[in-house]
Amino acid sequence: MPSVSTVASREFSDIVRSKRFIILVAVFSIVFMVGIASIYLTVLSTARGLGIAMPTGFIGRAASVVASSISYFAPIIGIALGCDAISGEREKGTLRTVLAQPIYRDTFITGKFLAAFLAVSIAVSIASLVNVGGSMVILGVTPTGEDMVRLALFVAFSILYAVSYYGIAILLSTVARRTTQSVIVSVTLWAIFTFAIPIIASLVAYMYRPITSIEIMGRPGRNATNIRPSPEEMQRIMEQIRARAAITEAINSITPNHHFTKIAQYILGIPGSIMQSRPDLSIYQGLASAWPHTLVLVLVACITLIASYMIFVRQEVR
C-alpha cells in the first residue's frame, strides 16, 4: 500500500527532526554516562577498597546498569512519540486534510506506527550503544561474542518494550480530546507502573505475610550470642520470604515494566534478587524463560494498537 509508506515516511522525518526526539536521545546519553561513572566511583572503588571480589566480565559488571537505564529510557521514548500522534494532528486541524484524501483510516495509524517503530528502534539502539560504549570505557570491560548476542537480543526486547508504551500512548492520544490530556495520563500511568505499583506490591505482601523472624530471634530465654535460628526456623523464614515474593510478583505483573525487567534478567543473566541463587542461564534457556513475559509485552502492544484502530475508524474528526 503506497499510502502507508507515504504516511510513515512523513511521520518518520517529522519525528527524527523533532526537538523532542533529539533532546531525549541526547539527555539520556548524558544521564547514562553519569550513571555508569557513578557506579564506577561508588560500587567498584568501594569494593576494591574493602577487598571484596566484584564480578568480572562485561555482563557481570555492566549489564544491570544497562538494563536499568534502558528500562527508564524505553517507556519515555515510547510515550514521547505516541502521546500526540493522533491528538496533535487533530488539534492542528491537519487530520481533516489528511482524512479528506482517499486513504483508509487504518492506513493512517499503521503509517504512524511503522514510523514510530523505526524511530524507537534507532533511539533504543543509540541509547544501548552509548551505554555499552560508556561501560567499556569507564568500567574497563569488553563484551565477548556471547555478550554481544545477549546485548543484541536485549536491544530487540527493549524496542518491544518501548513499542508497548507507544501503544498505550497512541491509544490515549486517540481517545483524548487534547494532547495535554494524553500526556498527563500516559506519564501518570508510567509513574504508577514504575514507582507506585512496586511500593504497593511490597506493602500488600508485608501486610499478608509479615516476617516474624525478628520475634523468633528475639525470643526470651536465648542468650545474645546464640541468635542463629535453628534449621527449622530458617526454613520457615525462607518460606515466608518466598510467599512474599510471590505476592509482590503477582501484583507487579500487571505492569509492562515487570515483564521487561524479567526479560532483561533472563537475557542478560542478571541475578534477580539476593535470595535467588539461580545458575547462569544459557542464551537459549534465557529466551525460553523470557517467553511468557515477551508474550505479555506483545499483547500490550497489539491490544492497544487494535483498540486505537477500532476507536479511530469510528471517530468523528473534529
Partner 1 sequence: MSEYVIETYGLTKIYRSGGGTVVAVDRLDFKVEKSSIFGLLGPNGAGKTTLLMMLTGLILPTSGSGKVLGYDIVRESREVRRMVGFLPEGFGLYEHLTAEQNLEYIAALNDIPKPERRKRIEDILAIVGLYEVKDRRVSGFSRGMKQRLGIAQALLKDPELLIMDEPTAGLDPEGSKTFKDLVSKLNSEGRTIVLSTHLLFEVGPLCSSIAIMNRGRIVVQGRVRDLVSKLMSEEGYKIYVEVRGDSGRFASALMGMDGVRGVRMGLDGLYIDSTKDIRVDIVKIASELSIEVSSIRVEEPSLEDLFMRYYRGGGVDA
Ligand X SMILES: Nc1ncnc2c1ncn2[C@@H]1O[C@H](COP(=O)(O)OP(=O)(O)OP(=O)(O)O)[C@@H](O)[C@H]1O
Interface with partner 1 by CB under 8 A: which residues?
2-3, 6-7, 10, 14, 92-104, 314, 316-317
- Which one of ligand X, partner 1, none interacts with residue 3, CB within 5 to 8 A by kind? partner 1
Give SS3 for 230.
coil
The CA distance from 117 to 111, in Å, is: 10
- The nearest distance, CB 126 to partner 1, in angstroms, is 23
- The nearest distance, CB 9 to partner 1, in angstroms, is 9
Is 174 or 252 the residue whose CB approaches ligand X more closely?
174
Sole residue written with cell 515510547:
78
Residue-wise over 231-268: b if at least 16 C-beta within 10 A, else e? eeeeebbeeebeebbebbeebbbebbbbbbbbbbbbbb
- Which one of partner 1, ligand X, none interacts with residue 228, CB within 5 to 8 A by kind? none
Phi, psi for 83 (deg, rounded to 5): -65, -20
In the complex, which residue's CB is closest to ligand X?
318
- The nearest distance, CB 170 to ligand X, in angstroms, is 21
- The nearest distance, CB 96 to ligand X, in angstroms, is 12
Is 69 or 174 the residue whose CB approaches ligand X more closely?
174
DSSP result, 98-163: HHTSS--HHHHHHHHHHHHHHHHHHHHHHHHHHHHHHHHHHH-----HHHHHHHHHHHHHHHHHHH
198 residue type, one letter? P
- The nearest distance, CB 303 to partner 1, in angstroms, is 25
Answer for the pair 126, 28: CB distance below 8 angstroms, yes or no: no
Task: Give the dihedral sign, CA 165/23/37/131.
Answer: positive
Is 4 or 205 the residue whose CB approaches partner 1 more closely?
4
Is 215 or 316 the residue whose CB approaches ligand X more closely?
316
The CA distance from 315 to 58, in Å, is: 50
The CA distance from 315 to 307, in Å, is: 12
Is 19 or 318 the residue whose CB approaches ligand X more closely?
318
- Which one of ligand X, partner 1, none interacts with residue 94, CB within 5 to 8 A by kind? partner 1
- The nearest distance, CB 318 to ligand X, in angstroms, is 5
Sole residue written with cell 518494550:
161
- Which one of ligand X, partner 1, none interacts with residue 103, CB within 5 to 8 A by kind? partner 1
- Which residues make up the interface to ligand X (CB under 6 A)? 316, 318
- The nearest distance, CB 17 to ligand X, in angstroms, is 32
Is 17 or 314 the residue whose CB approaches ligand X more closely?
314
Is 177 or 219 the residue whose CB approaches partner 1 more closely?
177
- Which one of ligand X, partner 1, none interacts with residue 101, CB within 5 to 8 A by kind? partner 1
